[in-house]
Every structure is written in structure tokens, then in C-alpha cells.
Structure 1
Amino acid sequence: MIVDLFINACILITFTSVSHNFVINKNISKNPSISLKISIGACCGSLGILLMFFGVHITSTIVTDFRTVPIMLSAIFGGVIPPIITVIMMCFFRTLYFGISKAAVVSIIATMFSGIGFGVISVIKKTRRDKWIYSVIYSNLVSTISYIILIKDRIFLLKLLLVYYIGISFVSYFVYRYTEYLCELVEFYNRLRNEATTDFLTGLNNVRQFDKIFNSVSKQTIKDGKNLSLLYLDIDYFKKINDTYGHIAGDTILKNIADILRNTCREIDIISRNGGEEFTVLLLDCSASNAVRIAERIRRNVEVNKFYISDKVSIYVTVSIGVSMYPGKTNNIDMLLENADLALYEAKRTGRNKVMVYNNK
């Protein structure tokens, strides 16, 4: 029996490890979506079925295994919904594969009570560690009652419970430690991925992500025959601001400019910080007149905004904006950024705090 339970534990750990690869892009430990909760429930249900299939046959009708651990996993990481799905799948399989018997009825009832109990434990305001401890204690209680009902040989019952308690406690602890490690790994991976695409100061796309998005959007724009406009912004006299008030003040202004862009642009527009005091906005399916209107609105919102660089000091800042559009002003979509930069240079050269549209003539 010990060897069979060890095999059961190996299946559990292996399945958990493989499943991790499918959720590495999703942080399941923090507010999973409904669709992800359903996936968690189905995945844990499949694991529970697999554990039952390779379970230890105590008698011709009684099977023991670590099926409660997948229910724990689904509840601790998904809340109330996943364990319901997991329990339904496992009970359905238990009935179809092993048939109807007293042991089957007791097993199904125990599985249902496990799902309910773990679901309740999942919503209490405790750490995941505490939830694991409570779940293991509750699982042992439910399992003990089930075995007492089914097994009349008290000596054999005591031996079985001793082996099961040790096994479920060890496996649960190992799965807890392993899933915590996997959660840290997923969090670290997502943080690195986010840092690779996001500007650390403003939270906008960085220049690397801008290039990637621009290439993708350009191809799609040509394919769909739509318009694409680009705004290239530069903060006027930003070096002077840094020299006068310090780099912390400069960082504050950059973050405030980013907020103004988020609040001024449309939800579908793609905003990036391209380095230093330069920002870009990709206006998807945007006509030339609308692009100029958005650019002017940005310029005006920045101009009238009071930038607080300390509790007592506030300053006003302006931006110059170059605009290029495809098709129309720019016939080669690959030149959109360069042409917007030329328009920006012209805005700077002719006085700053203005919007200048690139003209290929």
C-alpha cells in the first residue's frame, strides 16, 4: 500500500508541475478570472480522476488515494467555484468507473463535504499556509469518518488511518511548499516580462515595446486599409527643469505627463515613453483632422496643468508635438515615426509649445 500511495503522490506532483506551464502567464494566486477559475476546477478535477484511477484498492470496493489534495488546490487558489467543478467531475467518475456500492456512496458524500469545507476555508481571511493547515485537518476528519463507516476491522482501520495520516500530511506539506515556489516563480517571471516591456517610471510602454507594437500595428493597418496617426511629444526645456529643480522634480513631471496622456487619449490609443522626455502616441484608425485635434488637446491640457514638484513649489510646463499620418501626409508607413520626429523638430525650431503636422511637400 505504501508503494501505491507513493506512486499516487508522484502523479500528484508531476501533474502539478506540468500544469504550472499552462498558467505561467497568469497569476492565479491573485484574483483569477471566472474563466481561469473554471479551468482550475477542470484541471484539478482531471487530477483527482487520475489519482482515483491509480488509487490503492483496500477492498474490492474501497479505494484510498490523495484525491482530496486536488480539491484543496482548487479551493485555495480559486475560491468557491473551482472545487464545485472538481467535486462534480470526481463524483461522476467515481460512480461510472467503480459502480454503485456503499463505499461509492460514502466516497461521494465525503468528496462533496470536502469540497464544501475547502470552499468555506478558502474565503476566510487567512494566509495560504493557514488555509492548507485547516484543509488538511478537515480532510483527515472527513476521511476518518468515512473509513470508520466502511471498515469494521478496528486494528486494520488504525493501521490504515496511521499510514493515511502520515501520507496525506507529508504530501499536502510538499504540495504546499511546491505550489508556493511555483507562485513565486510565476510572479518573478511576470515581473521580468513586465519590466521588459514597461517603462519603470511612468508605467507606459517602453521603446522596445513601442517598436514591437508599431511593427504589428503597421502591418495590420496596411492589411485593413485604415488610417494610422502618430504623435511625437517632447517636453520643452526639460533639461533646464532638471538643472533648476533636480531630477526628482523631473521624474515627477514625467509621471504627471504620462497621466495626462492616459486621461486625454482614447482607450484604444497606444502610449509609450520613448526615452528621456520623449513620448509617442499611436492613434489607431484615426483621421488626420482628429489626430490634430487630439494633439492640440494634449498640448493644452499640459499647458494649463499645475505641476507640483514639492509641497510648496509648482511650475507650468509645455510640450511640442509632431504629427504624422498614414496615408496622406506620409505615404510610407515605415517612415511614420521619422516624419513625426521631423515635425516635432520644426515645432521646436519655430517656438515650442505647438503642434506641427508633417508635410511631405
Structure 2
Amino acid sequence: MFIEEFFLNLTVLISFIFLYHQIYRSKFVTTSTRNSHLFSHRGILLGIAGGLLGIVLMHFSIQVDGNTIIDLRVIPLMLVALYGGWIATTITGASIIFFRFLIGVNLSSLSNLLLVIFSALIFLFFASRMKNRWLSIITMLVLSNTVFSFITYALIADFKVYLTINVAYWLITITAGILAISMNNHLLQSNRLFKEYEMNAFIDPLTGLNNVRSFDRAFNGAKQRIVKKQENLSILVIDIDHFKQVNDTYGHPQGDLILKHVATLIKDSCRSVDTVSRNGGEEFTVLVTDLSHVSVSQIAEKIRKNVSEYTFSINNDTLHINITISIGVATYLVNTGDVDDLYRNADAALYKAKNSGRNMVCSYSDIDKDGSNYIKLE
């Protein structure tokens, strides 16, 4: 009977941890960031969550006699001590103690006070002093269970019941502690991977810039705002000159390194509000709002100049090379009447720059119908 009721406590514990991670998809906290959560809202939230879990576990507790109830309330206390620090542990412990006194003020509730205090001190002490995480968990549970055994010896008169309760309690608490930590780690890993996949859906993993999907999202959002306000919206389409030759000569790993540096140079040359993206391969774009076409062309020239003057160190700094880029610029309401043509026009200006000698900025304004003219900004 006691095993079945403890098993109910265990299912409540596991279910609560799972729900917590679904609702609060941030770190349940990890031991590496434990100290940073001591006084943060996250640490306070963790303490409240731990206290709530302890209260729920007490609601499904095992009634030993008229006043004594037993459950797994020390497990959330251990979790919070491991990952939340002393502030969160204090909140959890105080919540458990307060609720137990609401049930009734008696010898059993006073014993609960001692169990929570001693267990919290044990958990906090070993959480910060033992490098082996699993060894520290087993040590904490064994010591907390020892305190439990001493306390319940004074509460349970029937030695057979006392022995049965303690054997069941030891088995279930150690099992619950290991399962709770394992599940927490698994959910942390799952949430971390989910966030990585979510981020990679909009971030280029090589350069850290926005990817083409993120560019499309930003462009569509900007279109809706700009068309209503009739303001300028510009696109810079940037391509590295002869990049295939770079990859063929030095190898793709060195080419990737150059792409990272070019991405940094482009981003550092733009405003913080501009949307800088890698649209694929060696092509980059910059989405610029609320600037004149002249100012946007100046930004483009700044990018071109910064890249052309930069010396790229590759092959573990044993080789130094220079590369150039070509840029096409188009601006809505200046040289593009339909905002949906903006990217196509900027791309056309880029190809004009490519076909006219590379290492230059070409504006769509300077392309005749036959595509014979371009501007090279000095």
C-alpha cells in the first residue's frame, strides 16, 4: 500500500517537472549558472515552483496516523538547492513549512520543520562542494533520509510500520531523486536543441547573420510599414568577387573563414537598425530603412572600402590575402516604384557592377534601359 502511494507521489513529481519545462522553456537552471540565479527573477520563480510542487506532493501524501503524513517533499527542495541557490531554496522550504502548519500544528508539523531545515542545509552544502554531480545527489539523499529516519522514529510507535515506511521511503526518494535529475537534464537538452533549431531557422549558422528566411520576414514587415508611410526603403545586394577561385585555391574551410570576416565587416559598417543577412553562398544583403538614397550609397561604399582594405589572414595566419566585393543598390520611391521590385532591381545593379569591373557600387538609378551605364563611387 505504501509503495503504491509513494508511486503516486513519484508520478506527480515527474509530471510537474515536465509541465514546468513546457511552460517555462528557459533553463530550469544549470549548475554552471547557479550563482547568477541567486537573486534573479528566475531564481525566485524556481523557488516558488519548488514550493508549489512540495505543496502538491503533500496534498497526495501518505497518512500514517492522525497527524503524520509522509511524501516526497524533499525532492523539490533538493532540485531547487542544486540549481537555484539559497534564496530559491529558502522560498521553497518556507512554502513547504507554511503549508504543513496550515494542515495542523502538532508534533508532526514541528518534525517537518526540522526535516526541511536540516535537508535544505545538507542540500545546499553538498551542492556547491562536490564536483561529481551524481555522487553529491546520492550523498544528499542518504543524509536527508537519515534525518527522516531519526525524526520518524519518534513519531511512529509501531516499529513494524516504522520499518515499512522507512524502507519504502528510502527506496522511493533515492529513485525519485535520480529520476528527477535525469528528467530535468533530458528536458534541458531537449529545450536547448529546440532553441537551436528555432534560432537556426532564422540565423545563418556560419556567420551569425540573418538568413534568407529572416531577410524575407524583415523585408515583408518593412514593406507594410513603408508603403503606408511612403518612406524610403533600400536594399544592398553584396557579392564577393571571384569567391569560387578563393575556395578552389585555399579550400572551403578557409573560404568559410573569409565569409565570417566579411560578415563582420559588413555588419560593423552598417547601423544597428539595419538588417544584415547572408542570403546564401557568398551573397549578402542589407535592408536599410528611413535613409536617403545618397546616404545608403555612402553606406554601400563604406562597406566596399572596408572589405577591400582589410587583410584576411588564413591558414593559421601563415597566409594573408585581399579580396573585393561588388554591391548593387536600389531604393523604393527613388529608383524603384514598386516595392516588390526592390530586390530584383538591386540584384540587377549588382550584376552591372560585376560586369563593369567588380569592386564597385552600382545603383539601379544608373542603369539605362540597355544596361550600359553604372556609377563607381570614389
TM-score for the superposition, normalised by structure 2: 0.83
**Alpha-carbon distance in structure 2 between the residues aligned to 1:37 and 1:293:** 48
Cα distance in 2 between the residues matched to 1:140 and 1:314: 65
After superposition, the Cα gap between the structure-2 partners of 1:224 and 1:173, relative to the gap in structure 1 and judged at 3 Å, is farther
Q: What is aligned with 2:179? A: 174
Tell me: CA distance 1:82–1:268, structure 2 relative to 1, closer, same or farther (3 Å). Answer: farther
Structure 1 counterpart of 2:76, from 70, 83, 99:
70
1:89 equivalent in structure 2? 95
214-223 or 184-193: bigger deviation: 214-223
1: distance between equivalents of 2:232 and 2:117?
57
Could you tell me how far 1:223 is from its partner in structure 2? 6.0
2:327 equivalent in structure 1:
321
Counterparts in 2 of 1:259 and 1:8: CA distance versus 1, 3 Å: same
Q: Is the contact between residue 118 and residue 144 of structure 2 (CA under 8 Å) also seen in structure 1?
A: no
The alpha carbon displacement at 1:59 in A equals: 2.5
- Asked if 1 retains the 8 angstrom alpha-carbon contact of 2:28 and 2:83, the reply is no
- Does 2:192 match 1:187? yes
Q: Distance in 2 between matches of 1:138 and 1:223?
A: 68
Partner of 2:20: 19
- Counterpart of 1:159 in structure 2 is 164
Verify the 8 A CA contact 1:76 1:128 in the aligned structure 2: no
SS in structure 2 at match of 1:321: strand
In 2, Cα distance between the equivalents of 1:35 and 1:183?
Answer: 19
Greater shift, 128-137 or 306-315, is seen at 128-137
Size of the alignment, in residue pairs? Answer: 360
- CA–CA distance in structure 2, aligned partners of residues 37 and 327 of structure 1: 51
Mapped partners of 2:150, 2:299: distance in 1? 69
Aligned to 1:184, the other structure's residue is in SS state: helix
Between stretches 292-301 and 115-124, larger displacement belongs to 115-124
Cross-structure match for 1:198: 203
Deviations 1:91-150 (A, max 9, x none): 332233x13233223313432443344334443462543442233234223423432454
- Cα gap change, 1:270/1:28 in structure 2, threshold over 3 Å: closer, same or farther? farther
Identify the residue that residue 247 of structure 1 maps to in structure 2. 252
Q: Does 1:356 align with 2:357?
A: no
Q: Secondary structure at the match of 1:200?
A: coil
Partner of residue 277 from structure 1, selected from 282, 297, 300? 282
Q: Which residue of 1 aligns with 2:269?
A: 264
Quick one: which amino acid aligns to residue 135 of structure 1?
M
Matched AA of 1:332 = D
Paired with 2:331 and 2:127, the residues of 1 have a C-alpha distance of 53
The residue aligned with 2:237 is 232
The answer for the alignment partner of 1:212 in structure 2 is 217
The amino acid of 2:152's aligned partner reads Y
Which of the numbers 43, 54, 58 marks the counterpart of 2:49?
A: 43
Identify which of 126, 139, 162 aligns with 1:134: 139
195-204 or 313-322, which moves further after superposition? Answer: 195-204
Unaligned runs of 5+ in 2: 368-378
Distance 1:120 1:227 in 2: 61
The answer to which of 56-65 and 210-219 deviates more is 210-219
The one-letter code sitting in structure 2 at the alignment partner of 1:170 is T
Whole-angstrom CA distance in 1 between matches of 2:146 and 2:17? 25
CA distance in 2, matches of 1:27, 1:297: 45
1:58 paired with 2:64, answer yes
Instruction: Report if aligned partners of 1:8, 1:66 keep a CA contact under 8 Å in 2.
Output: yes
Task: Quote the Cα distance in structure 1 between the aligned partners of 2:110 and 2:116.
Answer: 10
Letter of the 1:78 counterpart: G
Amino acid at match of 2:94: I
1:301 matched to 2:338? The reply is: no
SS at match of 1:249: helix
Query: How much has 1:233 moved relative to structure 2?
Result: 1.0
1:77 Cα shift? 3.3
> How far is the alpha carbon of 1:71 from its aligned partner?
1.8
Corresponding letter in the other structure for 2:92: T
- Report the aligned-residue RMSD: 2.9
Q: CA deviation at 1:58?
A: 1.9
Equivalent position of 1:312 in the other structure: 318
**Is the 8 Å Cα contact of residues 13 and 57 (structure 2) preserved in structure 1?**
yes
Higher alpha-carbon deviation: 6-15 or 147-156: 147-156
Relative to structure 1, the CA distance from residue 99 to residue 330 in structure 2 (aligned partners, 3 Å threshold; closer, same or farther) is farther
Structure 1 residue runs without a partner (length 5+): none
Tell which structure's C-alpha radius of gyration is larger. 2
Corresponding residue SS for 1:197 = coil
AA aligned opposite 2:90: I
TM-score with structure 1 length normalisation? Answer: 0.86
Bigger CA drift: 276-285 or 5-14?
A: 276-285
